A and B are shown apart, each in its own frame.
Chain A
Amino acid sequence: MTSTFAPAFSAGLVALLALLLIAMPAITPATVPLGVAVPPSRTGDPLVRRVITRYRIGEVVLAIVALLVDAALLFAPPVAGIFVPVFLFLALSVAWLVLSRRTIIAAKRDQDWYEGVPVQQSAEVTAPTHHHPPLVWAIVAVLAFVAAFAIGAAVYPSLADPYPVHFDLAGAPDRFEPKTLWAVFGLLIVGVGVAALLFVLAVVVPRTALRATPGDAPQGALARADARRGVLAALLAQLSAAIAVGLSLVSVLIWLAPPAVATRTGLIVMILLIVGVLAVAVVRYRRIVRRTSASAPGHASAASPPGTPPRAAGPAAPDDDAHWKGGIIYVNRDDPSIWVPRRFGLGWTLNLGRPAGVVIGVVTILVIVGIVVTVLLTTGHGR
């Protein structure tokens, strides 16, 4: 049984990752191109723009290479078909990013870009105020789950008795179990857990300390950080709702439609919902960055013609490249925070300068490796 589902899935994943990596410079503050801190007067520097363009072209080429590998693996076992192109693309992309940013780092060092630039760091000295959680998405999630459980309860007597509980990558059932409440409702129960966890995060995120995005120009940096936190909280709440609606739909389809149709349709709907939610977050975040940057006096406009001397810009964020290994990994012993805002996109990253940060990082890697190995073993076993 050959299936086109696995290669299509990994092709979609590679395309999604490529889009995110290509969009990355657009959603990163202009003062941190490719994770290199530069003063606001240099954000429109021809060299910076050239390196970003070259980085994006490289990512397109790498995505095409990964898609070709994906096509070559069309008849390989599904596990290899999914993991090889995706990991190949990720590894090459990281290498290309590290290589690209070196050019900016060298120019910054050789031409002393921070010479004479006033630097400043901002923070709120008053006690933080709390935001309200986005309850509407919790209501959507609860309604979806309640509807799914109600439908499940209604059709339960008529469901088949060895009941299909596991599907191969083509969506055909490959394992059956005696019909129990867990076999029928297990997916929904796990879904309730995942959605609840995401919503708890959506409630916790706005309560985290307000901290300027590392390297972001100080003018309006706190407003941007606040907006960023808000976008992330909304994103988590919407993801929670998307997973609730998606998994409810998958469960209901499995009960009412032929399994192959059901798992595939349900998965596609859920992926579309998640991609839609991510796209909304990117658009909202870009709008905020543009609004708060435009109002900042001295923020170098990207439209300034090449060759013009840098304008007298407002203060810059301190050059914190020394704390960012590879532009991505944060190591700062002085910083008491375990989680700090990422320079790339939304969210937080670990401070590996703190013992707790190292412990969390190691545990996370072990969990991810464990999950990947388990998936590899079980899917291999199922065939």
Chain B
Amino acid sequence: MQIDIDPRSDVPLYQQLHDRVVEAIADGSLPAGTSLASVRQLAGAFGINLATVAKGYDLLRQEGLVTTNRRSGSIVARDAASGPAAASFSDGWVPRLRTLLAEAVAHGMTDHEVTTAVSTELHRFRSGGDR
């Protein structure tokens, strides 16, 4: 599974790494149980700092999307088919969604535009992404 990062973007590289992996899990490209490259392998493949990749993986681990153990390395811990989200998840997710929606409203997007955008993105994940 190929992921792309943009070194010139304002979004930090570790965040881009995290975001691309989460998107790949959502669209089914990285199903639960998939082995991920080690921090060293991925940093070497991109030619970026080890600490950057480690930070991205840490974030994924904190969110429970990835687990790492000494024997099997990092693997995808859950995906859409792994059952309902933990209650603690929505506690963190809803405030972030609120900020995103606030941006849309503040920029004058209508409710219809917002819901259309949401269902387009959701549909993309459910139909296996554009990969």
Chain A interface mostly: loop
A211 touches B45 (CB 8 A): yes
B124 within 8 A of partner (CB):
no
Determine which of A124, A211, A318, A335 lies in contact with B1 in the assembled complex, contact meaning CB atoms within 8 Å. Answer: A124
B47 within 8 A of partner (CB):
yes
B123 within 8 A of partner (CB):
no
B77 within 8 A of partner (CB):
no
A380 within 8 A of partner (CB):
no
Q: How far is the CB of A212 from chain B (nearest CB, A)?
A: 8
Residues of B contacting A374 in the complex (Cβ-Cβ under 8 angstroms): none
**Which residue among A122, A123, A210, A318 has the maximum number of chain B CB atoms within 10 Å of its CB?**
A123
Q: How far is the CB of B55 from chain A (nearest CB, A)?
A: 14
B35 within 8 A of partner (CB):
yes
A125 touches B7 (CB 8 A): no
- Interface size in chain B (residues, C-beta < 8 A): 29
B126 within 8 A of partner (CB):
no
Residues of A contacting B48 in the complex (Cβ-Cβ under 8 angstroms): 334-335
B37 touches A125 (CB 8 A): yes
Would you list which residues of chain A between 314 and 339 have a CB under 8 Å from chain B?
Answer: 315, 318, 332, 334-337
B43 within 8 A of partner (CB):
yes
Q: How far is the CB of A321 from chain B (nearest CB, A)?
A: 14
Q: How far, in whole Å, are A337 and B42 apart by their CA atoms in the complex?
A: 10
Q: How far, in whole Å, are A331 and B43 apart by their CA atoms in the complex?
A: 16
A123 touches B7 (CB 8 A): no
Determine which of A125, A218, A318, A335 lies in contact with B8 in the assembled complex, contact meaning CB atoms within 8 Å. Answer: A318
Interface-side segment among A83-91, A104-112, A113-121, A285-293: A113-121
Residues of A contacting B73 in the complex (Cβ-Cβ under 8 angstroms): 127
A209 within 8 A of partner (CB):
yes
B34 touches A122 (CB 8 A): no
- Interface size in chain A (residues, C-beta < 8 A): 25
B4 touches A126 (CB 8 A): no
Residues of A contacting B34 in the complex (Cβ-Cβ under 8 angstroms): 126
B36 within 8 A of partner (CB):
yes
Residues of B contacting A127 in the complex (Cβ-Cβ under 8 angstroms): 35-38, 41, 73
Q: How far, in whole Å, are A18 and B42 apart by their CA atoms in the complex?
A: 37
Q: A209-B45, A332-B47 are in contact. Are A119 and B7 (CB under 8 A)?
A: yes
B36 touches A126 (CB 8 A): yes
Residues of B contacting A121 in the complex (Cβ-Cβ under 8 angstroms): 4-7, 46-47
B21 touches A125 (CB 8 A): yes
B42 touches A123 (CB 8 A): yes
B2 touches A125 (CB 8 A): yes
B47 touches A218 (CB 8 A): no
Residues of B contacting A123 in the complex (Cβ-Cβ under 8 angstroms): 2-3, 37, 42, 45-46
Other A-B contacts than A127-B35, A337-B44, 17 sampled, CB-CB below 8 A, are A121-B6, A122-B2, A123-B2, A124-B1, A125-B1, A125-B36, A127-B37, A128-B37, A210-B45, A211-B46, A214-B47, A318-B8, A335-B43, A335-B44, A335-B47, A336-B40, A337-B47
